[in-house]
Amino acid sequence: MKERLNILVVGVGGQGNILFSKILGDVLLRVGYDVKISEVHGMAQRGGSVVTYVKAAEKVFSPLVDIAQANFIIAFEKLEALRWIEYLKKDGLLIYPDYEIPPISVITGLYKYPDVEKILQEIGVKTCKVEIKNLLSSLGDSRVQNTLMLGYFSRFLSIDESLFKKSIENNVKKEFIEINLKAFELGRKIESV
């Protein structure tokens, strides 16, 4: 029996949430899981809060990861990490970046951007914070944040690295394969905090 994987990928519309899930789902399928992925489209694409669910098990029914059921939440933005935290299972792991995108409600002064680290510590969540800001500027393209995070996350699954790379090649437009592979490799080497 393969270990059941319930994964939430959360972030802001436009961060490459769906591609991340597609590549990951593809890899999980190749190693023999039944896989379901559920995505969000439409209004939320325009800079709203977005979530994608990736589920893998011997047999998957619901494509949704239910509340308090995720073993992993992978956040592409700090505030979004907090917003979806109720979905994390007891002893699940939250992976989030040192990356803030203030929502308009913060920009216009209606709300404050919260102290994410402090709140996470208070509620006692197991976390890995990934320092990607500098890496992204070194790559010169913030659009590969998703593959960078995938590289980092891939270390938590005992799946051969080459399968991920193959899936990136199959799912990314030709002209972007090289930079995405580079981002993946960089991500795989990051030390988290």
Q: Which residues bind another protein (CB under 8 A)?
A: 12-14, 22, 25-26, 29, 34-49, 60-64, 66-69, 79-80, 82-83, 85-86, 88-90, 101-114, 119, 123-125, 142
CB 54 within 8 A of CB 74: no
CB 153, min distance to another protein, A: 18
Q: Which is nearer to another protein, 59 or 191 (CB)?
A: 59
From start to end of 48-124, where are the E strands? 49-57, 70-75, 88-97
Residue 127 pairs with which residues in a beta bridge?
A: 94
CB 137, min distance to another protein, A: 9
Q: Which is nearer to another protein, 100 or 161 (CB)?
A: 100
Q: What is the dihedral sign for C-alpha 41, 46, 48, 53?
A: positive
Q: Which is nearer to another protein, 6 or 154 (CB)?
A: 6
DSSP conformation class of 82: H
Q: Which residues are CB-contacts of 53 (< 8 A; sequence separation ≥ 6)?
A: 6, 7, 8, 9, 21, 36, 37, 38, 63, 64, 65
Q: Which is nearer to another protein, 154 or 191 (CB)?
A: 154
